[in-house]
Amino acid sequence: MDILSDIITAQDGAAVQQLGSQLGLGQQQTTSALSALVPALAAGLQRNMQSEGGLGTLISVLSSGSHKDYIDNPQALGEAKAVEDGNGILGHILGSKDVSRDVAAQAAAQTGISADVLKRMLPLAATMVMGALAKRSGPASAGLSSGGVAGMLGSLLDSNRDGSIVDDVTGMIGKFMNKPAPRA
């Protein structure tokens, strides 16, 4: 099971329902929006993990934070702290508001949901991704290693299931930079 599935099935879909109700979206629209946003967030996490100290920082954040509360207690997504936490996460994994806007615009083109709604959803989706990773990591980061986190993110990013995420991530980045994806 990948991160997106963990988010969608969390608390029997309660997290997705909570997110949708906050933004005026139905369950299917919310799932579609998450399906468009989560891979971009996972790509940002993957890139961040490959930077110097990135994996250690991620493990530290996951083990010290309360991110899994956003998955275990979906009502927490309605608190102002969720948006604040999400914006902090976005700053680390996407780097700038321009990239966040590009991610929202690309997701809007894929889903037909307003880019403004997706911009509001993005920080909450980021908290949900971190919550799913924290929940998967278990107590005291047991099982959270380079291979474990990369494996969780890799299964999400390998959209064409060819065993390599390089072409998928390159294509995703190309979309955000308005460049054509390489042909495999």
Tokens of 179: 């460049």
Predicted local distance difference test score (pLDDT) of residue 94: 87
Residue 16 has pLDDT above 70, yes or no: yes
117 has pLDDT over 90: yes
Mean pLDDT calculated for residue range 35-42? 93
pLDDT tens readout for residues 43-62 = 888 887 777 777 677 777 77
- Residue 138 CA to residue 118 CA, distance in Å, equals 30
Say what the pTM is: 0.75
Q: Quick check: 102 pLDDT over 90?
A: yes
The pLDDT of residue 120 is: 96
pLDDT value for 50: 78
Min mean pLDDT across 36-40, 62-66, 100-104, 124-128 is at: 62-66
CA quadruple 85, 89, 92, 94: dihedral sign: negative
Q: What is the DSSP letter of 177?
A: T
- Show me where the domains of the chain are located: 3-176
Residue length, the chain?
184
CA distances from 143 to 11, 41, 63, 134, 175 (A): 22, 21, 12, 11, 33
The angle, 0 to 180 degrees and rounded to 10, between the axes of the packed helices 27-50 and 14-23 is 100
pLDDT of 184 higher than 70: no
Q: How confident is the model at residue 119 (pLDDT cuts 50, 70, 90)?
A: very high
Q: What is the pLDDT of residues 121-137, one digit of tens each?
A: 999 999 999 988 888 77
**Across residues 76-94, what is the average pLDDT?**
91
Residues 6+ apart with CB under 8 A from 174: 180, 181, 182
Section 10-19 average pLDDT:
92
